[in-house]
């Protein structure tokens, strides 16, 4: 999330009651979680496992629970509870605003767009021209939808990311990170009934132009789907994953978090994608393999009894 205007390091330190180290005269331009940080961003870290990753990331400002050497050009905010400090900043700049209308006064609806009954449009939602939004669709705050998009009944767009901070020394082990990202849907996308698309924790979940989603699909936080992809029913894509252009995922494919699927990859039904795969190939199975290699393997397995009988005849 980008701030409306730059915020001074000293203001941030005072706001979260943190000790400041490093460049005290700089200004932050946004706040992001570690997978999405850019120069000018604030990030937090509260576990030694991730100290180096955060300190060496693109982020300029790091909220941390340990005094340490400050990398060149960076600013540290030292506090006992970095997660709570991060959450406080997010909630200040992106507070929860309860809806009091089915269609917010701040929502923008384009020309020739049809919004049917029982559709919820949250605060600062933007719909382009020529869209069709079927009944019982919920579109949460800050979602941006392009032109000629069709969204079928029961779809939820922009629900909170399933992204949890874990600490075993507190009563509630798991605390949800407050989401300040959004969802961006480009032109000519179709979304089937009862799909759910989570907004980003701190950045955008994106669906590229011309992509078509079947029914009952879940898209996790900050997933980026390329142009002209096809995704069949009951696919689940975990957060932070990137699909290239022209990718096809057939029914019930499961996709792991923070991986990449190359352009024009085709994945057959019920496959499990646990790591990044190259484009322009067809895949199948769990763990996933190239389709033709997997098919050969299955043919050989089917012939094992026959082969074994022949082996026993050898003297």
Q: What residues are labeled active site?
A: 221
Tokens read off for 128: 């382009």
Residue 267: how many CB atoms within 10 A of its CB? 27
Query: DSSP label at 286?
Result: T
Tell me the three state secondary structure of residue 148. coil
Cβ(178)–Cβ(196) under 8 Å?
no
Four-residue CA torsion sign, 82, 88, 92, 93: positive
Please report where in the chains the tokens 């997997």 appear, as a residue: 294
Query: 3-state class of 292 per DSSP?
Result: helix
Please count the CA atoms within 13 angstroms of the CA of 98 that sit on its side-chain side: 1
What is the token pair recorded at 168?
């075993």
Q: How far apart are the first and last CA of the chain?
A: 74
How far is 177 from 34, CA to CA, in rounded Å? 13
Burial 224-254 (b: 16+ CB within 10 A, else e): bbbbbbebbbbbbbbbbbbbbbbbbbbbebb
Residue in the block written with tokens 């960076």? 74
């Amino acid at each position: 999330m980008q701030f409306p205007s730059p915020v001074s390091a000293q203001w941030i330190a005072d706001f979260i009651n943190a000790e400041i180290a490093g460049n005290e005269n700089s200004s932050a331009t946004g706040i992001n979680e570690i997978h999405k940080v850019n120069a000018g961003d604030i990030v937090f870290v509260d576990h030694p496992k991730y100290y180096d990753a955060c300190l060496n990331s693109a982020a300029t400002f790091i909220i941390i629970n340990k005094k340490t050497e400050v990398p060149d050009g960076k600013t540290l905010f030292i506090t006992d509870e970095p997660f709570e400090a991060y959450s406080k900043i997010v909630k200040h700049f992106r507070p929860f605003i309860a809806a009091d209308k089915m269609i917010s006064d701040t929502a923008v609806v384009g020309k020739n767009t049809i919004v049917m009954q029982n559709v919820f449009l949250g605060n600062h939602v933007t719909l382009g021209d020529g869209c069709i939004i079927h009944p019982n669709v919920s579109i949460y705050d800050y979602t941006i939808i392009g032109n000629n998009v069709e969204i079928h009944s029961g779809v939820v767009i922009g629900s909170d990311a399933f992204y949890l901070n874990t600490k075993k020394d507190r009563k509630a082990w798991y605390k949800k990170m407050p989401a300040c990202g959004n969802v961006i849907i480009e032109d000519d996308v179709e979304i089937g009934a009862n799909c759910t698309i989570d907004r980003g924790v701190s950045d955008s979940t994106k669906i590229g132009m011309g992509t078509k989603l079947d029914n009952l699909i879940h898209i996790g936080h900050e997933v980026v789907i390329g142009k002209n992809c096809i995704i069949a029913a009951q696919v689940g894509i975990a957060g932070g994953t990137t699909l290239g252009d022209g990718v096809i995922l057939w029914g019930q494919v499961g996709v792991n978090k923070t991986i990449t699927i190359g352009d024009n990859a085709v994945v057959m039904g019920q496959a499990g994608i646990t790591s990044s795969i190259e484009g322009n190939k067809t895949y199948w199975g769990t763990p996933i393999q190239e389709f033709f290699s997997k098919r050969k393997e299955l043919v050989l397995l089917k012939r094992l009894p026959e082969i074994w009988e022949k082996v026993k005849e050898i003297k």
